[in-house]
Amino acid sequence: MACPAPLSEKRTSMRVLFVTSEFAGLAKAGGLGDVSAALPRALIRQGVDIRVVMPAYPDVLARTSGVEVVGELPGRAEIPPCSIGRVRLEDGLILYLLIAPALYDRPGNPYCAPGGEEWPDQDLRFGRLSLAAADMARGIGGLGWVPDLLHVNDWPGSLAPAYLHWDGATVPSLLTAHNVAHQGVFPAGRRAALGIPESAFAMEGVEFYGNIAFLKAGLFYASHVCAVSRTYAREITTPEFGGGLHGLLAGLAEQGRLSGIVNGIDESWDPARDPYLPYHFQAEDQLGKRKLAELVRTSLCLEHSEGPLFAIVSRLVHQKGLDLVAEAAPEIVRMGGQIAILGMGQPAVEQLLHRVSRAHRDQIGLLVGFNEPMAHRIIAGSDFLLMPSRFEPCGLTQLQAQHCGTLPIAHATGGLVDTIEDGGTGLLFEEASVEGLLGACRRAFEVFSRPAELLRMRGRAMARAFSWGRSAEHYRELYSLLLDGSEPSSKPQPRPKRLMRRSGLVRAA
């Protein structure tokens, strides 16, 4: 897999194992794949010896070469043994691949079969990932490299801190919660299959309303929890956004064990050099942006227009508020706007957008699926980006859009609040409703009608710094603090509150 530039070989004594279920360019289903491919690389450039472990899906094996089997891991309960493959990517990043064909040698994306249905043994598939990470942290497997700290991501890796605790290990762990709406919930009867001790099936453990929840286990047993934006870290301590885990999360916040770090975007989104764009542009010269807008219109069979072009590049799911867009679309079109939509997701949302686009064939274009070049062209060529998400832990699209001078119109929630300056680099609305969205769209039409104001906002948006380097710096500092403050304990201990005071991170409460 080719990458822009070789990674620095500079190393510190800090060794980190980054645990993920997806990785952009190899096997990706959502934003976690982008984070997993970008954050470790940024951390290596800052001197961290970080390596990635993930399942050896067929796509991963097909897209890598020179995979060497370097270790073996035992099974537990119904979790089968697995081999560990090692591959060094072209830029130097080391991946450990869990080779367990019975669990991972299947078509589809990391989580679902080609038809969209989840695999019935999902608990074993990601129990295997979690157990492997915990065992590797304990030096099992014969790799000749043992991490000082585990960094797990979302529910698929969230049993790893729990396995460490149950096995009496004192390796510190960090859980990044990218979206607490996805929790990895399985029937209580699967406890024995996963090797979960009977004593752990309790409120202070893995039990969640009579079931097992991987994410809850991670939240409870991890040394520290990080959400992907400051605002989302606060929101998930409330009943509205906490997914039933708000009490636990509020407790973590009070203990100083919950913080927020905003994601970044990679260099490929620079509109002056983006390889996916046939026309390039900068803040001072936006002729290329106008040419891209016409290219997008032609590609989606929209008629020529002098009005604003609104973009949607998103998973087509209820969370993203696209039903609000469907209801507001006729008014947007009436005011002179056009909408370019790219994405895939829930059939009901896809069908809703199909109906709207058919009713306005010349003004609303819909492309169901995912096409990376088209995503870059729509985002870079549009005037505004529609993001009326009901909740948004961080969001990457609004970062990409601002970097391209495309002003986001977004619901004031989660990472959207942290990354969009209302009236400066985009437009925010408070209420997740059709009225709220249309109010912000009317403001957008007013901005569009004043070219000087539009250019000012575009220039301000394009000047924003959303590099992974900044995010990596915060994570590196958090790693250091966790390693400095980790002490042996018979039960999960809160990190001291000084951790939050000493770091540049923001407490959730």
- Sheet of 207-208: strands edge to edge? 185-187, 211-213, 207-208
Contacts of 23 (CB under 8 A, 6+ apart): 33, 36, 37, 52, 54, 60, 95
pLDDT for res 492? 37
pLDDT for res 7? 63
Beta-ladder partners of 173: 150
pLDDT for res 508? 42
Q: Which two tokens stand for residue 396?
A: 């990457």
- Cα separation, 391 vs 410, in Å, equals 10
C-alpha distances out from residue 88 to 96, 133, 151, Å: 9, 18, 20
User: φ, ψ for residue 480 (rounded to 5)?
Assistant: -60, -45
CB neighbour class for 209 (10 Å; exposed up to 12, middle 13-18, buried from 19): exposed
C-alpha distances out from residue 229 to 18, 356, 463, 507, Å: 19, 33, 20, 11
**Per residue in 422-455, is it b (16+ CB within 10 Å) or e — as a string?**
eeebbbbbeebbbebbbbbbebbeebbeeeeebe
pLDDT for res 406? 98
- H/E segment holding residue 221: helix 214-221
CB neighbour class for 278 (10 Å; exposed up to 12, middle 13-18, buried from 19): exposed
Query: Angle 468-485/31-45 helices, nearest 10 degrees?
Result: 70
- Cα separation, 401 vs 385, in Å, equals 7
Using an 8 Å Cβ cutoff, are 239 and 246 in contact?
yes
- Cα separation, 452 vs 450, in Å, equals 6
pLDDT for res 94? 97
pLDDT for res 8? 54
Mean pLDDT of the residues in the chain? 91
**Position 491, amino acid:** K
- Cα separation, 165 vs 137, in Å, equals 12
**Residue pLDDT tens, the chain, 509 long:** 334 455 654 445 799 999 999 999 999 888 899 999 999 999 999 999 999 999 999 999 999 999 999 999 999 999 999 999 999 999 999 999 999 999 999 998 999 988 888 999 999 999 999 999 999 999 999 999 999 999 999 999 999 999 999 999 999 999 999 999 999 999 999 999 999 999 999 999 999 999 999 999 999 999 999 999 999 999 999 999 999 999 999 999 999 999 999 999 888 899 999 999 999 999 999 999 999 999 999 999 999 999 999 999 998 999 999 999 999 999 999 999 999 999 988 999 999 999 999 999 999 999 998 888 999 999 999 999 999 999 999 999 999 999 999 999 999 999 999 999 999 999 999 999 999 999 999 999 999 999 999 999 999 999 987 889 999 999 999 999 999 874 323 233 333 333 332 333 333 43
Beta-ladder partners of 174: 151, 224
Report the candidate in 283, 332, 279, 270 with the shortest Cα–Cα distance to residue 457.
Answer: 283
Parallel, antiparallel, or unpaired: how do β-strands 338-343 and 207-208 relate?
Answer: unpaired
CA angle 28, 31, 32 (to 5 degrees): 70
* Residue the block writes with tokens 């470790």: 40
Contacts of 13 (CB under 8 A, 6+ apart): 49, 148
- Where residue 203 falls (left for φ over 0; alpha for ψ -120 to 50; beta otherwise) is alpha
Parallel, antiparallel, or unpaired: how do β-strands 211-213 and 207-208 relate?
Answer: antiparallel
Distance of CA 210 to the CA centre of its chain: 28
Q: Is 322 helix (H, G, I), strand (E, B) or coil?
A: helix
pLDDT for res 358? 97
